[in-house]
Amino acid sequence: MTHHYAKLDDAKRDVVNVLSRIGIATLPEIRRALPDYSSQTVGRAVRELIAENVIAVHVEGNNRIQKRPLRLEVVG
């Protein structure tokens, strides 16, 4: 089980690195940038990072989410 959590922590770090490098990206774009991780691992990493307020959904204009896929960015 330890290995699984280590991989998740690595995935979270890599997701933050990808978003820091490219700015704003959708989940499919993040998944393509991290081919070493399963789609599920990247998705879980993104969900946990959002819950931890490390990354957030990028909102433009009138503050309504108008279309999917959601665009994500690093908070700060």
Task: Domain 2-74: state its class.
Answer: mainly alpha
Among 37, 6, 59, CA closest to 15: 37
Q: Any idea where the domains of the chain sit in the sequence?
A: 2-74
Strand partners, 71: 26
Q: Please state whether the predicted TM-score (pTM) of the whole model is above 0.85.
A: no
Going residue by residue through the chain, which has 76 residues, state the pLDDT in tens, using 9 for 90 and above.
Answer: 455 678 999 999 999 999 999 999 999 999 999 999 999 999 999 999 999 999 998 766 655 555 566 788 898 7
Cβ–Cβ under 8 Å, residues 19 and 38: no
- Torsions phi, psi of 69, nearest 5? -75, 150
